[in-house]
Amino acid sequence: MSTLLNPYISFRDNARDAMTFYQSVFGGELALSTFGEFQASEDPAEADKIMHGMLTSEKGLVLMGADTPNSMDYSPGNNISVSLSGDDEAELRGYYDKLSGEGGTVTVPMEKAPWGDIFGMCTDKFGIAWLVNVNGAAAAPAS
8-state DSSP, 69 = P
88-107 pLDDT, tens digit per residue, is: 999 999 999 999 999 999 99
Reported as type and span, the H/E element at residue 95 is helix 89-100
pLDDT digits (tens, 9 = 90+) for 42-73: 889 999 999 999 999 999 999 999 999 888 88
> What is the set of domains in the chain, with CATH numbers?
8-67 (3.10.180.10), 81-139 (3.10.180.10)
Specify the pTM: 0.77
Report the b/e string of 28-66 with b at 16+ CB within 10 A: bebebebbeeeeebeeeebeebbbbbbbbbeeebebebb
- Three-class secondary structure of residue 113 per DSSP: coil
The tens digit of pLDDT for each residue in 5-47 reads: 789 999 999 999 999 999 999 999 999 999 998 888 888 999 9
